[in-house]
Amino acid sequence: MPKTDIGFSRWRFDFVKGYSPDYTKLYMANTKPAFAVGEFYDGNKDLIIKWLQAAGESDITAFDFPIKFILQNAVQGDFYKLKDSNGGPPGLIGSLPGKSVTFIDNHDTGSTQKQNPFPSDKVIQGYAYILTHPGIPSIE
């Protein structure tokens, strides 16, 4: 049954560290979604970039966990982390902004599981950052 018959045109690939990126690549090739994002829960942008490359670098994007963690520390006073060693933005937004889905919290980090939640008194600052910087902002 084609995806258009059931009304789905966008995918969120959960826990992509748990299976081969070849499966994501295959799924993307056979369904051709309008948008797709993978959840590679890791603070290392290089690992996320490797996953994107292995998944085919088609139209797949990834949640920018590195910038989420960096921004979380920055709003608590570690402002120097908001620039990489070359003076550009850190995280995936500094390397592949068109593939970076920025966010403050999601079901894995804040709202339900409470692992690495964004400081509740700094959420507005966090949203101001992701709405004014490279990447594809995701608002929860």
What amino acid occupies position 136? I
Alpha helical stretches, state H, 39-132: 45-54, 65-74, 91-95, 123-131
**Nearest-CA neighbor of 42 among 31, 53, 51?**
51
**Partners of 52 in beta bridges:** none
> Catalytic annotation on 22?
no
> Catalytic annotation on 39?
yes
Catalytic-role residue among 22, 39, 57, 121: 39
Catalytic-role residue among 5, 14, 46, 57: 14
CA atoms within 13 A on the CB side of 109: 22
Active-site positions read: 14, 39
